[in-house]
A = this chain, B = another copy of it.
Amino acid sequence: MTPSSTSRSPNSARGDLFDPGCPTRRLLDRIGTKWTSMAVKVLAEASPEEVRFAELQRRMTGISQKMLSATLQGLTRDGLVARRVEATVPPRVHYRLTPLGRSLEEPLAALREWAEAHMAEVDRANRRGDEASAGSSPAVPPARAGSPPRPPR
Protein backbone atom coordinates (compact mmCIF):
# COMPACT_ATOMS: atom_id res chain seq x y z
CA MET A 1 0.00 0.00 0.00
CA THR A 2 1.41 3.28 -0.99
CA PRO A 3 2.39 4.62 2.38
CA SER A 4 1.61 8.26 2.14
CA SER A 5 0.99 10.91 -0.39
CA THR A 6 -1.68 10.34 -2.85
CA SER A 7 -0.65 13.66 -4.20
CA ARG A 8 2.81 12.79 -5.38
CA SER A 9 4.63 9.75 -6.49
CA PRO A 10 8.02 9.70 -4.84
CA ASN A 11 9.44 6.71 -6.59
CA SER A 12 10.38 6.23 -10.19
CA ALA A 13 13.80 7.24 -11.39
CA ARG A 14 12.12 8.15 -14.64
CA GLY A 15 8.45 8.29 -15.28
CA ASP A 16 6.54 5.20 -14.40
CA LEU A 17 3.23 6.88 -13.94
CA PHE A 18 0.97 5.03 -16.23
CA ASP A 19 -2.23 6.54 -15.05
CA PRO A 20 -2.47 9.25 -12.46
CA GLY A 21 -6.20 9.20 -12.12
CA CYS A 22 -7.72 5.79 -12.28
CA PRO A 23 -9.31 5.44 -8.85
CA THR A 24 -9.92 1.76 -9.34
CA ARG A 25 -6.24 1.12 -9.70
CA ARG A 26 -5.52 2.92 -6.48
CA LEU A 27 -8.30 1.14 -4.67
CA LEU A 28 -6.93 -2.19 -5.76
CA ASP A 29 -3.50 -1.15 -4.60
CA ARG A 30 -5.03 -0.89 -1.18
CA ILE A 31 -7.41 -3.78 -0.86
CA GLY A 32 -5.04 -5.93 -2.86
CA THR A 33 -2.51 -5.85 -0.08
CA LYS A 34 -2.33 -8.98 1.90
CA TRP A 35 -4.40 -8.08 4.90
CA THR A 36 -6.46 -5.02 4.17
CA SER A 37 -9.54 -6.72 2.86
CA MET A 38 -9.48 -9.24 5.66
CA ALA A 39 -9.27 -6.46 8.21
CA VAL A 40 -12.25 -4.76 6.65
CA LYS A 41 -14.15 -7.99 6.70
CA VAL A 42 -13.36 -8.74 10.32
CA LEU A 43 -14.21 -5.22 11.38
CA ALA A 44 -17.40 -5.34 9.37
CA GLU A 45 -18.45 -8.54 11.02
CA ALA A 46 -17.94 -7.00 14.41
CA SER A 47 -19.60 -3.75 13.43
CA PRO A 48 -20.84 -1.69 15.07
CA GLU A 49 -18.81 -3.06 17.94
CA GLU A 50 -15.23 -1.99 18.28
CA VAL A 51 -12.38 -4.44 18.20
CA ARG A 52 -9.13 -4.12 20.04
CA PHE A 53 -5.71 -4.56 18.53
CA ALA A 54 -4.94 -7.89 20.12
CA GLU A 55 -8.38 -9.17 19.33
CA LEU A 56 -7.92 -8.27 15.70
CA GLN A 57 -4.65 -10.10 15.62
CA ARG A 58 -6.34 -13.10 17.12
CA ARG A 59 -9.03 -13.08 14.48
CA MET A 60 -6.65 -12.57 11.59
CA THR A 61 -4.69 -15.74 11.78
CA GLY A 62 -1.11 -15.41 10.75
CA ILE A 63 -0.76 -11.65 10.69
CA SER A 64 2.23 -10.11 12.40
CA GLN A 65 2.03 -7.14 14.68
CA LYS A 66 3.87 -5.06 12.18
CA MET A 67 1.50 -5.81 9.36
CA LEU A 68 -1.57 -5.43 11.52
CA SER A 69 -0.30 -2.09 12.68
CA ALA A 70 0.56 -1.02 9.16
CA THR A 71 -2.74 -2.22 7.79
CA LEU A 72 -4.73 -0.41 10.43
CA GLN A 73 -2.70 2.72 9.93
CA GLY A 74 -3.38 2.63 6.25
CA LEU A 75 -7.07 2.11 6.74
CA THR A 76 -7.19 4.84 9.34
CA ARG A 77 -5.34 7.24 7.10
CA ASP A 78 -7.73 6.43 4.32
CA GLY A 79 -10.65 7.27 6.54
CA LEU A 80 -12.04 3.77 6.44
CA VAL A 81 -11.31 2.95 10.05
CA ALA A 82 -11.65 4.97 13.22
CA ARG A 83 -9.21 4.59 16.07
CA ARG A 84 -10.01 5.17 19.70
CA VAL A 85 -7.39 5.09 22.41
CA GLU A 86 -8.11 4.46 26.03
CA ALA A 87 -5.43 6.26 27.95
CA THR A 88 -5.12 3.63 30.60
CA VAL A 89 -1.86 2.28 31.88
CA PRO A 90 -1.85 -0.67 29.61
CA PRO A 91 -3.22 1.29 26.70
CA ARG A 92 -6.23 -0.09 24.94
CA VAL A 93 -6.84 0.80 21.34
CA HIS A 94 -10.13 0.12 19.68
CA TYR A 95 -10.89 0.05 16.00
CA ARG A 96 -14.08 0.20 14.06
CA LEU A 97 -15.18 0.87 10.53
CA THR A 98 -16.29 4.35 9.60
CA PRO A 99 -19.39 4.72 7.47
CA LEU A 100 -17.06 4.97 4.50
CA GLY A 101 -15.44 1.72 5.48
CA ARG A 102 -18.77 0.03 5.87
CA SER A 103 -19.74 1.17 2.42
CA LEU A 104 -16.68 -0.56 1.06
CA GLU A 105 -17.81 -3.79 2.61
CA GLU A 106 -20.52 -4.02 0.03
CA PRO A 107 -18.48 -4.36 -3.17
CA LEU A 108 -15.98 -6.36 -1.18
CA ALA A 109 -18.68 -8.84 -0.28
CA ALA A 110 -19.62 -9.09 -3.93
CA LEU A 111 -16.05 -9.99 -4.69
CA ARG A 112 -16.09 -12.58 -1.96
CA GLU A 113 -19.23 -14.13 -3.32
CA TRP A 114 -17.73 -14.36 -6.75
CA ALA A 115 -14.60 -15.91 -5.33
CA GLU A 116 -16.48 -18.55 -3.41
CA ALA A 117 -18.65 -19.32 -6.39
CA HIS A 118 -16.03 -19.44 -9.10
CA MET A 119 -12.53 -19.86 -7.75
CA ALA A 120 -12.93 -23.61 -7.88
CA GLU A 121 -13.41 -23.34 -11.60
CA VAL A 122 -10.39 -21.11 -11.87
CA ASP A 123 -8.41 -23.77 -10.07
CA ARG A 124 -9.71 -26.40 -12.44
CA ALA A 125 -8.61 -24.31 -15.40
CA ASN A 126 -5.19 -23.99 -13.83
CA ARG A 127 -4.88 -27.69 -13.33
CA ARG A 128 -5.82 -28.37 -16.92
CA GLY A 129 -3.10 -26.04 -18.08
CA ASP A 130 -0.60 -27.66 -15.76
CA GLU A 131 -1.02 -31.17 -16.96
CA ALA A 132 -1.01 -29.98 -20.55
CA SER A 133 2.60 -28.92 -20.11
CA ALA A 134 3.44 -31.55 -17.58
CA GLY A 135 5.41 -33.88 -19.85
CA SER A 136 8.35 -31.84 -21.01
CA SER A 137 7.84 -28.40 -22.37
CA PRO A 138 10.59 -26.07 -21.33
CA ALA A 139 9.19 -23.49 -23.69
CA VAL A 140 6.52 -22.26 -21.35
CA PRO A 141 7.51 -22.41 -17.72
CA PRO A 142 4.41 -21.83 -15.65
CA ALA A 143 4.52 -18.34 -14.25
CA ARG A 144 2.48 -19.23 -11.26
CA ALA A 145 1.52 -22.80 -10.92
CA GLY A 146 -0.93 -24.82 -8.95
CA SER A 147 -0.34 -24.11 -5.30
CA PRO A 148 1.87 -21.23 -4.44
CA PRO A 149 2.27 -21.09 -0.69
CA ARG A 150 -0.08 -18.31 0.17
CA PRO A 151 0.13 -18.04 3.92
CA PRO A 152 -2.89 -16.68 5.62
CA ARG A 153 -6.49 -17.15 5.27
Interface residues of chain A, those whose CB is within 8 Å of chain B, are 1-7, 10, 16-29, 31-34, 37-38, 41, 61-63, 70, 73-74, 76-80, 100, 103-104, 106-108, 110-116, 118-127, 129-130, 142-153
Q: How distant is the Cα of A48 from the Cα of B44 in the complex, in angstroms?
A: 37
Q: B116 and A106: CB pair below 8 A?
A: no
Q: Is the CB of B146 within 8 A of A10?
A: yes
Q: Report the separation of the CA atoms of residues A126 and B100 in the bound assembly, to the nearest whole angstrom.
A: 13
State the oligomeric state as a number of copies: 2
How many angstroms between the C-alpha atoms of A6 and B125 in the bound complex?
A: 10
Selected contact of A129 from candidates B70, B77, B121, CB within 8 Å: B77
Q: Which residues in B have their C-beta under 8 angstroms from that of A79?
A: 121-122, 124-126
Known: A23-B120, A26-B119. 17 other contacts (CB 8 A): A1-B145, A4-B129, A5-B126, A6-B127, A16-B62, A17-B149, A18-B63, A18-B149, A18-B150, A21-B153, A25-B150, A28-B32, A76-B129, A78-B122, A79-B124, A80-B122, A104-B118
From the candidates B37, B61, B110, name the one contacting A110 in the complex (CB within 8 A).
Answer: B110
